[in-house]
Structures are given as C-alpha cells and as structure tokens.
Amino acid sequence: MAVERKIMKVLNGETLSPPPVWIMRQAGRYLPEYRETRATAKGFLDLCYTPDLAVEVTLQPIRRYAFDASILFSDILVLPDALKRNVRFVQGEGPQMDPIDAEGIAKLDPSGMHDHLAPIYETVKRLRQELPEETTLLGFCGAPWTVATYMIAGHGTPDQAPARLFGYRDRASMMRLLDLLADMSADYLLQQFENGADAVQVFDSWAGVLDEDCFDAFCVQPMKRIVGKVRAVRPDAKIIGFPKGAGSLYRGYREKTGVDALGLDWTVPFSFAAELQKEGPIQGNLDPLRLVAGRDAIREGVDRILDALGNGPLIFNLGHGVTPQADPDDVGYLVDRVRGNA
C-alpha cells in the first residue's frame, strides 16, 4: 500500500497537526556537506547538470533533517541557459548573462530545450527512486517575470529597474518574452512531473517590485498560462505559487492563476495570511533571519505561526530561502520545534 505523503495531503486541502515542513534553499551553502560536494564541480551550472552531484546535494538535507519534502536542486536560470544566453555564475557577483533587447527576444528559439535540460530530468527520475517513500518530491521553475528580469538586465539588480523600464517602453516585446518563458516553463514542469515530481513550485522572487497593472500583466497572466498548459496535460497537477513581496496583491492571486497553494513571504501579517488560508493551503512564512538570530527567535517565530495558522491547511516553511549564515543545528531545532519535539 502506497504511503500518503503529508505535503500532498495539505495540497489537497487537509489540515495536519503538526504541519509538514520543508525549507526553501534547504540544499545549500549552510551545510558543510553541500560545500564539499560543490567543490568537486567545475562550476555551479555543472553542479545543476550533473545528475550524480545534483542528486547528492538534493538528498543531503533529507538525510540530515527528514524534511517532508525534497526539492530538486537546480536553478531558475536553466531556461535562459537553454536559450543560449551565455549564463554564468561569477564568484561574489552572482548570475550573469548576455542582456537581451527587443531584437534578441524576437530571435529566441526554444527548440532543443529538452535535450539541454535532459540531465535535470534524469536527476528528477533518480530522486524519486532514491527518496524515502513518504517524502514529497517537488520540482520547480522560476516564474517568467523573475527570469525575464535577469535576461533583460543581464544580472540581478536591487529593484529590477531595467526590466520594469523595458516593460513600460515596449510592452509588446515584454509580453512576447513572458509568453515564451511561460510556454517553456509549462513544458519544463510537465517533464518534471513525467519523471516523478509529485508537485511543483514556481518562484516569482521579484513580484514585489511591480505596480498593480504590471503585477497583473507580468506575474498573474504568465502564471495563469503556465497553470493552464500544465493542467491541460495533467489535470491533477499540484502547483505552489510564490509571488514574493506581493503584499496586498496576494489577494486574488490563487483565484486568478489557478495555483493550489500560496507561498507567503515573511512580511505577510498573520491576520492576512489567515484570510488567504480560508481559500486554500498556504506555505510559509518564517523570517529566514530568525535562523541566524538563534533559538529564542526561532522558537518565538515558529510558535506564532503555528498558533495563527496551524488550524488550517499549512506547509511550514521559511518566507524565503535559508541563508548561508544559518547554523545547521539550529535548522534541526526548527524542524523539531515544528514537530513538537523541542
């Protein structure tokens, strides 16, 4: 008899006590075993595209903490890499690529994408075989808007002004890029489902920099397109949307896009989160810096979330990714606190 995976139960609307827990960026630099594995790769993208290494780093936090979900180790920029945008990761500077303009957008060719991403699909397949039966396997991609911000600027910026300006000055080219990325993302997620992912999360890390009109055009509509295309093939596909920083624009996002669950960042007030939870599952939303601040801050934050949101469908998580400064032992304490063991 198949084991029921707790996170899948929550995504189906159930309330579990204690709630299942995983944390974003759980396979990362805060773990010494990750740093050791990372040192054996030629570069960050090599780590993502080498199944032996990607499987290993994905499994490391599961071995250590027995999280209720394991999320594929990869990066949101593998799609522009598949589009031959010369993606590279520069030590101390983050991701960089050749910036794109309207002429370049018109020439983008997604053919060959699945060949390029085949090693990632192999990683997903192997993960489902190697993970504990009870552990949910999450696939993921970056949302079109967030991926587009890097493609237009050629690097990360504090407020994504280059992409915002481009969107104001040439809406047609921006929508052409977002539609292409949405279609590629849907195909990419479908292949992850095909190879064993139980559910997927779409990270819109830069949703919070947009005004209401652009949020609808650049975040909501592309996400709706992704969900529609995935569900046309897999009607039962479970999708978590994470429009970080959306603030009051979280209201209506689930209904407009069709996502099953809302990932909430740490700035969302509990009163508002509880309203959103009445409409369906939510995920979040501990401030990642509490993991750096120590156990008193962790305990206080965990208890407040469980008190405020534990009586509805909740996946316990951070409000963004765990930081490299986090102590691995304190991450273990967080898991124990959520599960009532500390």
H/E element, 317: strand 314-318
Ramachandran angles phi, psi of 286, nearest 5°: -70, 135
Which residues are designated catalytic? Answer: 25, 29, 38, 75, 150
Report d(CA 8, CA 22) in Å as an integer.
13
- Amino acid at the residue 45: L
Answer for the pair 37, 53: CB distance below 8 angstroms, yes or no. yes
What angle is formed at CA 125 by the lines to CA 121 and CA 127, rounded to 5 degrees?
115
CA–CA separation, 224 vs 239, rounded Å? 11
What is the pairing mode between strands 239-243 and 261-263?
parallel
- SS3 state of residue 116: helix
* 321 close to 24: Cβ distance less than 8 angstroms: yes
Angle of CA points 90, 92, 93, to nearest 5°: 60
Query: From the CB of residue 239, how many other CB atoms can be counted at a distance below 10 Å?
Result: 22
Residue type, 15: T
283, 314 in Cβ contact below 8 A? yes
* Neighbouring residues of 304: CB distance < 8 A, sequence distance ≥ 6: 270
Tokens of 151: 């493609």
Sequence length of the chain is 342
